[in-house]
């Protein structure tokens, strides 16, 4: 393969550590995460609530809330080393143009007293530093909305005039105005009913097909939703990535005992089946202020061995399957 045939990695995270620091002390929900996303990949970041998914997503943006600190590691977005790049360049060159981030509970980001189009003006100004001709911005937004199967006149509405599903799709449309390569969406379907979830997934597919975006990092606790669109799955437990592989392999043959329990907790995978529910996994995730020694999953793990209590497993690469798993059970299969 020649140099020009090698696709650039859009997102390359290496050993990222992130901490919340406040009156409650220090907690570290991102505990050395490495993750690569290539063009064309639709990656699921899955795991129970509280395992650190949103914290990691926020760190990727390079401008986390004050309470959240990037401690160490590297996050590269194409050639931009996020925490070693001038914030102004990050704002104008990287955000919106290369990555777009739609945080959890993003519906609340729409100001109730502003029409959608005025919100769009704010976004364009923030990302480009100027607006120029407002009518041109509105027309550009209308055309973009229409390309995504939404009515152009939605931009003239107030948020309260739109349903939850439509608001969420409007937020996604606004986030992709500049055709970002990577779209990071955090629990975008959680607040929606089943039919609105389907419309949102369809919209993501259409964005990929129309090459408005090239890759997605889809953060969710909901395996049933992730399975509908993701090609690769990354499973997080208590701040660590514990398994990674193709979505199909992870669902059909989960290796890590936690992944197995997570998959089994979904009684059905049919997205049209409203009985699809998350059953609880036995035990509870650890408190980040009191992380168990050894493997973080050992107090809940049915396969626990003596070593698991004292030594944290490293990541084992199972080359024959193109998968990684952080569990002592796979020590002899490491390549």
Ligand X SMILES: Nc1ncnc2c1ncn2[C@@H]1O[C@H](COP(=O)(O)OP(=O)(O)O)[C@@H](O)[C@H]1O
CB 92 → ligand SF4: shortest distance, Å?
A: 44
Distance, in Å, from the CA atom of 184 to the CA atom of 312, rounded to the nearest integer, reads 30
Distance, in Å, from the CA atom of 99 to the CA atom of 128, rounded to the nearest integer, reads 14
Cα torsion 46, 48, 52, 58: sign? positive
Which helix (H) or strand (E) segment is 44 a member of? strand 42-46
33 to 72: interface string for Mg ion, x by CB under 5 A: ---------------------x------------------
Distance, in Å, from the CA atom of 92 to the CA atom of 125, rounded to the nearest integer, reads 10
Q: Name which of residues 82 to 121 contact ligand SF4 (CB under 6 A).
A: none
**From candidates 303, 322, 331, 334, binder to ligand SF4 by CB under 6 A:** 303
**From candidates 12, 19, 31, 54, binder to ligand X by CB under 6 A:** 54
- Residue 44 is a binding residue for ligand X (CB under 6 A): no
Residue with Cβ nearer ligand SF4 (218 or 297): 297
State the chain's maximal CA–CA distance in angstroms: 68
245 to 274: interface string for ligand SF4, x by CB under 6 A: -----------xx-----------------
Residue with Cβ nearer ligand SF4 (75 or 238): 238
Residue 21 near residue 67 (C-beta atoms within 8 A): yes
Residue with Cβ nearer ligand X (51 or 150): 51
- Residue 28 is a binding residue for Mg ion (CB under 5 A): no
Q: Which of 259, 239, 243 is nearest to 251 (CA)?
A: 259
Residue with Cβ nearer ligand SF4 (213 or 295): 295
Q: How far apart are the first and last CA of the chain?
A: 24
CB 119 → ligand SF4: shortest distance, Å?
A: 45
Q: Which of 101, 109, 82 is nearest to 186 (CA)?
A: 101
Helix 164-175 × helix 134-147 angle, to 10°: 120
Residue 73 near residue 42 (C-beta atoms within 8 A): no
Distance, in Å, from the CA atom of 130 to the CA atom of 62, rounded to the nearest integer, reads 22
- Residue 55 is a binding residue for ligand X (CB under 6 A): yes
Distance, in Å, from the CA atom of 316 to the CA atom of 332, rounded to the nearest integer, reads 9
- Residue 51 is a binding residue for ligand X (CB under 6 A): yes
- Residue 106 is a binding residue for Mg ion (CB under 5 A): no
Residue with Cβ nearer ligand X (21 or 321): 21
For residue 302, give the DSSP letter: T
Residue 221 near residue 278 (C-beta atoms within 8 A): yes
Q: Which partner in ligand X, ligand SF4, Mg ion, none is near 304 (CB below 5 to 8 A by kind)?
A: ligand SF4
Residue with Cβ nearer ligand SF4 (110 or 242): 242
Residues interacting with ligand X, by CB under 6 A?
20, 22, 27, 29, 47, 49-55, 67, 288
Contacting positions for ligand SF4 (CB under 6 A)? 256-257, 295, 297-298, 301, 303-305, 308, 313, 327-329
């Amino acid at each position: 393969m020649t140099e020009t045939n090698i696709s650039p990695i859009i997102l390359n995270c290496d050993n990222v550590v992130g901490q919340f620091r406040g009156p409650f002390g220090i907690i570290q929900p991102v505990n050395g995460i490495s993750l690569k996303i290539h063009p064309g990949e639709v990656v699921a970041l899955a795991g129970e609530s509280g395992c650190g998914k949103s914290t990691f997503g926020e760190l990727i943006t390079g401008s986390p809330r004050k309470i959240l600190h990037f401690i160490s590691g590297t996050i590269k977005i194409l050639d931009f080393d996020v925490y070693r790049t001038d914030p102004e360049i990050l704002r104008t060159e990287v955000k919106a143009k290369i990555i777009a981030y739609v945080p959890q509970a993003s519906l609340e980001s729409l100001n109730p007293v502003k029409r959608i189009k005025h919100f769009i003006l704010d976004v364009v100004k923030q990302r480009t530093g100027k607006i120029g001709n407002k009518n041109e911005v509105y027309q550009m937004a209308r055309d973009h909305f229409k390309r995504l199967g939404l009515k152009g006149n939605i931009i003239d509405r107030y948020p309260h005039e739109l349903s939850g599903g439509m608001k969420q799709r409007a937020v996604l449309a606004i986030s992709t105005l500049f055709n970002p390569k990577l779209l990071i969406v955090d629990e975008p379907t959680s607040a929606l009913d089943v039919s609105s979830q389907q419309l949102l997934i369809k919209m993501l597919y259409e964005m990929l097909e129309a090459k408005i975006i090239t890759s997605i990092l889809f953060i969710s606790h909901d395996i049933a939703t992730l399975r509908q669109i993701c090609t690769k799955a990354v499973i997080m437990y208590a701040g660590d990535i514990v398994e990674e592989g193709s979505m199909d392999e992870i669902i059909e043959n989960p290796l890590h005992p936690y992944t197995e329990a997570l998959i089994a907790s979904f009684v059905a995978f049919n997205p049209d089946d409203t009985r699809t529910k998350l059953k609880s996994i036995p035990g509870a995730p650890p408190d980040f202020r009191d992380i168990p020694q050894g493997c973080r999953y050992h107090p809940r793990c049915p396969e626990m061995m003596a070593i698991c209590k004292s030594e944290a497993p490293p990541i084992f690469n199972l080359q024959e399957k193109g998968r990684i798993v952080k569990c002592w059970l796979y020590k002899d299969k490491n390549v």
